[in-house]
Amino acid sequence: MLAKNHLTLAEFKQHALEDILNSVWFNRQSITVQLTPSAEIVIQPKPQLKPLPVLKGYVPTGWKEEIYDEPK
């Protein structure tokens, strides 16, 4: 596991890529890699979203025309 969340490119190269990715995933924290004084790359885990609930109800026919039709 990595102790730092901000690494220089030289520090990044000292670690195995698999170790870095596992650290990001299991710690659920991002790691910033400083390439140059003005360039950084952030490696972060993708958030795991819960599925949307299925709601009871219906969509009335013609709803789109009612909303988007121009007034007469």
Other CB atoms closer than 10 Å to residue 21's CB: what's the count? 13
Instruction: Give yes or no for residue 12 having a pLDDT over 90.
Output: yes
Least confident range from 8-17, 34-43, 60-69: namely 60-69
Q: What average pLDDT does range 5-18 have in this prediction?
A: 93
Retrieve residue 1's tokens.
Answer: 């596991």
The answer to whether the pTM exceeds 0.85 is no
Retrieve residue 48's tokens.
Answer: 């795991």
DSSP state of 70: P
pLDDT tens-digit map of 33-57: 999 999 999 999 998 899 999 989 8
| Helix then strand then coil, % of the chain, to nearest 5 | 30, 20, 50
Answer for the pair 19, 2: CB distance below 8 angstroms, yes or no.
yes
**Longest pairwise C-alpha distance within the chain:** 69
Q: What average pLDDT does range 53-69 have in this prediction?
A: 82
